[in-house]
Amino acid sequence: VKICSPARCRRTNASRRACLIARFNFLYAKDRLDAEILLKKFICDIEMVQRTIYVAAVESFRAAKKAFWKVKIRVKETLAINHCGGPAALEIAALDYIACHKDVYDVCCSVQEVICCMNVNPKLPCPDNVDFSVISCFIRDMCCLAFSMQTLSPPLDVAFGVDGELFSRRMYYRSCDSDFTAPFVAYHVWPALMENGTVLVKGEVVTRR
């Protein structure tokens, strides 16, 4: 059995972390805008389009985290049969295994779960007016990213925002069409990326009086 040194494990974790953060930024800069273009064919209101993508992003993380928890339990039970170390070593082994075997994640189930949640979300357009599956590729990428972020130690997550919350410069950028004197968030455009309560990447919001 090949044993990795703690220093090598830390370097590997740091490298994966940097790549996943870069992917999160790319999804915001490119894939999010592509999803907006697809939704604009069904929804004329840009605010509703941005709200929809935000909900898709947050729900993707929620679904992926739930799926990861189930996968990790199965992997740990399998690895425990021949594992000789303690619980901490088993946890690390399970995370490494999942990180190297991404096929253990049934992302299609998560995508369908996200779309179902969006269909019953009262803040989004009626399902009769729009088919949220048009952004299924975006949702799939978000789910895969969120799942991979759970293999880090500590894991990364997105902050869940609430309409009407006090604007925080620490967590968010204001969107260009915001009222820059308004102290409260009207709605969220993109979630902030967090690590143990620390903001790694700011989100985007619209502030209005």
Closest CA to 123 of 18, 38, 204, 47: 47
Q: How many CB atoms lie within 10 A of CB 10?
A: 12
- Contact (Cβ atoms closer than 8 angstroms) between residue 145 and residue 20: yes
Query: What does the alpha-carbon distance between residue 164 and residue 199 come to, in Å, rounded to a whole number?
Result: 20
pLDDT on residue 8: 64
H helices of 80-199, where?
A: 87-100, 107-119, 136-149
Residues 64-118 pLDDT 10s: 999 999 999 999 988 888 877 777 788 888 999 999 998 999 999 999 999 999 9
Query: What does the alpha-carbon distance between residue 51 and residue 39 come to, in Å, rounded to a whole number?
Result: 11
pLDDT on residue 88: 79
Question: CA neighbours within 13 Å on the CB side: how many for 121?
Answer: 21
Taking 70 as the pLDDT cut, the residues of the chain under it are 1-9
H helices of the chain, where?
A: 6-26, 32-39, 46-79, 87-100, 107-119, 136-149
pLDDT on residue 2: 47
Q: What is the pTM of this model?
A: 0.91
Instruction: Give the Cα-Cα-Cα angle 115, 121, 124 (nearest 5 degrees).
Output: 90
Query: What does the alpha-carbon distance between residue 205 and residue 189 come to, in Å, rounded to a whole number?
Result: 5
CA quadruple 129, 133, 139, 144: dihedral, nearest 10: 160
Query: What does the alpha-carbon distance between residue 69 and residue 66 come to, in Å, rounded to a whole number?
Result: 5
Closest CA to 13 of 171, 149, 133: 149
